[in-house]
Amino acid sequence: MDERSDSIETYSKTREFLDNYWDLIGGFILAILTFIAHKQHNIPLTTLFAAAAIGFLSITVSEIAEILAERLGEPFGSYVLTITAVTVEILLLFNVLLESSSNPAALDTVKGGIISAVIVDMNVLLGLAVFVGGLAFREQQHNEDTSSTYTTILYVSSLALLVPSILQNTNHDIKTLQEVSLIIGALLFAFYIVILIFQTKTHTHFFKATARSRIFRFKRHLNENEEEEDNYIFDKFPNIGNFITIFVLIFIIGVLAELFAHDGLTLAKDLGISTGIAGLFIAVISVAPEIFTAIKAARNDQIQRVINIAMGASTVSILLTVPALLLLSKIFNLNLTLGFNALEVGALIFTIILAWKTTDDGETNYFEGISHLMLFLCYAVIATYY
């Protein structure tokens, strides 16, 4: 009897360990396989293993960031989540950008990745989370000031990105386009500083759940009699320890991103994959951890957090990723400009309009989630054949 009890206890502890650390274990195993495949010059396996390793380790980063988010509260919590995800995005796109010196198509992939990050955040992340939340709760409420503010920011930012694109079609030389792109990048970063002050100092109430949107969680907490003991090691770390862990994991992700960019672009060229789909694939990898976090939040009736993550990440993707990549391209003497094609600009504007329509009343349902997913699928089809 004691042996059986010991076996059950051992099985239970092993299962709990795997449940807690499957992403971290999988990430390190895949990272090792990536380096082995790269050393053997196996381009397809290097690309596949690197993409998977980045995704797994990014989930761990997201989990740790979520712990910090719960400790810091909104809007700071969602800010930590979005910053960590955007850091991964910048690492991926920068390594692709470095490949442009030998592969000019890499520039189009980077520009496609910038736009795709917003489209994935606003359509896949928001769409899936709203759909799942809508099935669980029929309707969910959030602070309408949040979506109103973010859609305004995104609308203005997208119009700013149009400036170099317009000049690109009026026969201006590459030097002029680079200068204009740097000016727009500086304006976007200045806009971000203002928004950061607005979000974290003067108008924090715009980004917090209202009393109406808290009612379901309040009722559920009344019915909870006990909490499960959480043995997740990062829950026991102090904030500084978790921040250090995040930085170490992001460094490893950066190394993997370099391998992914080099071999991935070669593979895409060999297979004839369009730059639009390549950019979309990069965006999905960088946003994947946030998607898991947002779906979990929606199932817990935390739709306010979903809105903060989806729209906050989209905002930071434009206002931080664009200036960062432009600055890095200047430092490394690369020819990156903000001249986007008609598909990218059109998809971005339509995405913002749809997000405004589906969130402006402070309520969401599963139909609105399906609408976002439908727009994304249409964009993916066009990007494949564009």
DSSP, res 139: S
Helix (H, G, I), strand (E, B) or coil at 159: helix
The per-residue pLDDT for 9 is: 66
Q: Is the peptide bond before 75 cis (omega within 30 degrees of 0)?
A: yes
The per-residue pLDDT for 6 is: 61
Helix residue spans in the chain (DSSP H): 2-39, 43-72, 76-98, 105-119, 126-137, 144-168, 174-197, 215-222, 233-236, 239-271, 275-299, 303-316, 322-331, 342-359, 366-385
Whether the CB-CB separation of 127 and 372 falls below 8 Å is answered with yes
Phi, psi at residue 364, to the nearest 5°?
Answer: -135, 155
Whether the CB-CB separation of 95 and 278 falls below 8 Å is answered with no
DSSP string, 54-104: HHHHHHHHHHHHHHHHHHH-TTHHHHHHHHHHHHHHHHHHHHHHHGGGT-T
Q: How far apart are CA 136 and CA 340, in angstroms?
A: 39
Q: Give the pair of three-digit tokens for residue 271.
A: 């297979």
Mean per-residue pLDDT, 76-99: 78
Looking up tokens 């993409």 gives 51
Note the pTM of the prediction, 2 decimals.
0.79
Q: How far apart are CA 378 and CA 386, in angstroms?
A: 12
Q: How far apart are CA 29 and CA 27, in angstroms?
A: 6
Identify the band that residue 369 occupies on the pLDDT scale cut at 50, 70 and 90.
Answer: very high
**Phi-psi sector, 164: left (phi>0), alpha (psi -120 to 50), beta:** alpha
Identify the band that residue 33 occupies on the pLDDT scale cut at 50, 70 and 90.
Answer: very high
Mean per-residue pLDDT, 145-152: 86
What confidence tens digit (pLDDT) does each residue in 239-261 have? 888 888 888 888 888 888 878 87
Domain spanning 2-224+240-385: CATH superfamily: NCX, central ion-binding region (1.20.1420.30)
**Which DSSP helix (H) or strand (E) runs through 364?**
strand 363-364
Helix (H, G, I), strand (E, B) or coil at 123: helix
CA distances, 365 to each of 62, 80, 139, 301 (Å): 26, 27, 5, 12
The per-residue pLDDT for 127 is: 92
The per-residue pLDDT for 226 is: 42
Cross-strand partners of 140: 364
- Report the chain's mean pLDDT, rounded to a whole number: 82
Helix (H, G, I), strand (E, B) or coil at 141: strand
What confidence tens digit (pLDDT) does each residue in 230-240 have? 578 888 888 88
The per-residue pLDDT for 11 is: 66
Q: Give the pair of three-digit tokens for residue 99.
A: 């490949």
Looking up tokens 């201006």 gives 172
The per-residue pLDDT for 141 is: 85
Angle at 250 (CA atoms; ends 245, 253), nearest 5 degrees: 130
Nearest to 305 by CA among 114, 94, 95, 70: 70
What confidence tens digit (pLDDT) does each residue in 41-58 have? 898 899 889 888 988 888
The per-residue pLDDT for 188 is: 93
Q: Is the pLDDT of residue 88 over 60?
A: yes
The per-residue pLDDT for 187 is: 93
Q: Give the pair of three-digit tokens for residue 53.
A: 């390793």
Residue type, 73: G
What confidence tens digit (pLDDT) does each residue in 203-233 have? 776 666 665 544 444 444 444 444 444 578 8
Q: Is the pLDDT of residue 14 over 90?
A: no
CA distances, 201 to each of 68, 142, 149 (Å): 19, 20, 15
**Which DSSP helix (H) or strand (E) runs through 140?**
strand 140-141
Cross-strand partners of 141: 363
Q: Is the pLDDT of residue 2 over 70?
A: no
Cβ neighbours of residue 156 closer than 8 Å, sequence gap 6 or more: 191
The per-residue pLDDT for 227 is: 45
What confidence tens digit (pLDDT) does each residue in 320-364 have? 899 999 999 989 888 888 888 878 888 888 999 998 888 888 888
The per-residue pLDDT for 270 is: 79
The per-residue pLDDT for 384 is: 81
Identify the band that residue 7 occupies on the pLDDT scale cut at 50, 70 and 90.
Answer: low
Q: Is the pLDDT of residue 4 over 80?
A: no
